[in-house]
Structure 1
Amino acid sequence: MLAVVFLLTFVSLSSAATHSLQYLYSASSGIPGLPEYISVGEVDGVVISYYDSNIKREVSRQSWMAENLDEEYWISETELDKYHEVIFKENINILRKRFNQDNGIAVFQKMYGCQWDDETNATDSFEAFGYNGEDFMSLDPKNMTWIASIQQAENTAYRWNRMEKSLPHRKAYFQKDCADWLKKYVSFVSKQMSMKVPPEVFLGLSHPWTYRQHICVLCHATGFYPKEVNITWKRDGVELQDGVNMGETLPNGDGTFQKRATMTVSPEERWKHQYSCEVTHKSGKPIVLDHEEDHLSIIEVV
């Protein structure tokens, strides 16, 4: 459901020491079965908080959030969500008129947050709005100025730039407070997972009829923390580039992460060479599994 709602995307930093905090607000109209307003908070891609217009309260999505933040925090965040819910619904009506839309589906979104490198202590921040899947306007946090992405946003950007100068607390949030909160959340996770958790690694073979001329072998690492991991397919000890598809590092929902890499090989080449998957993680020595029948599970790769 959230994949449908949150259409704005941002490029995340790939540094091994970079953490991110982001909040996603979305108001919609004309989508049956979907709450008219949704708010989600994420740390390093893991959902930490959730609110929607049906439940009318912000709730924790991680045990370490609930354990470290008191009831006053959740009451305060709920009140902010209720305020944003009203504003975002009003903005839907304003934007319908601005885009000459009488009815149909309308989705207004906001994403904001920050990134922090725990080695260099460098920080960065962002805020942007989108309407019906297209960029609307975004904030330049260094100069605290709004930049319109389309003509319909120019008047809003002009008015907000005049108002921005009278809101010093926003500048303080993007240049310091956001990173301070992110560091606090990361410390919560560190306390819960003070020890590095090694990955479990599995090899899986697709059913033969899935790929008629090629066989797809999956190397899946899961349950590891922190999130940085490297998966390498090798042939006769040499790293493979062709025929390898590397997936993204994804959260498991319990604070740990997973990642997979697939290798495609012809049936003829499969047994002519020695293939192996090597998973490197800071929790310990590299884990190497050879492409042999006793290491393979039956997994349907789609």
Structure 2
Amino acid sequence: MESFPLETPGLIEVRGPDAVRFLNGQITQDARNLGDATRASCITDAKGRLQFYVEILQSPKADPCLWVATRFDEREEILARLDRYLIADDASLEDLSGSWHRLRADSPGLPDANFSRTSTWPEPNWRDYWFDFLPTSPAPAPLSPTEIEERRIRLGSPIWGREITAGLLPPEARLDTSAISFSKGCYIGQETLSRIKSAGKLNRKLAPFQVLGFLAAGDTFESDGIPCGTITSVAPSGQYALGFLHKSGFGKSHFTVTERPASQLTLKEKA
């Protein structure tokens, strides 16, 4: 069994008869029938550009009650964003940040946890365990930050601040495969994102690479002297990387690092 270090996320509760309908009008993901699942989602502006990247889950309460989990320092901005559009719906918002703690583990169960949900971590069998107290016992087999970063990049998983940043179009970071529902009703930014899906056109997209040679985040790469993109993350081992591939590089698979011509990149399938 392995686990992530315990964290205290920002947590917004959306509660009431219209909680699901209201939240579905604010986020890109489908908040219906969550059941045991945790789902990644985006909050976008009217032009479909990313404002926040969050996770949604059913709270342990029996009545219509959903949680929006986010980075702790974003909780007030997200609460204000949701509250701005809460007008006619019979729903309420509450900031629960600091009262619940989360441990991510590839374990079928942790006896001290209040409840658990499936995890958005890209490896199978991982779950998020929630505690309404701060556990005093050490986390089981916690992964180091270096191990987490190595796996994340090898698996092609984007994170906030690197591949996921405010203002990008979510499909650029491949979030359309995990954080956007194209079958639910309207939400803020839906028209733009649906148009992108229909046209299938992007100026850049996130890509995973295998690396030969030295590489650093921020390095650019090219093919036949034509600039093709920028690296966002490099695995601690130096073997894998993530970066944005510009349309000038679409259809190509081998690249040279502009700043280090001896270093080579090969486009690889997402693990």
TM-score higher than 0.5 = no
TM-score, structure 2 as length reference: 0.28
> Relative contact order (C-alpha < 8 Å, sep 6+): which is higher?
2
TM-score, structure 1 as length reference: 0.26
| Higher relative strand content | 1
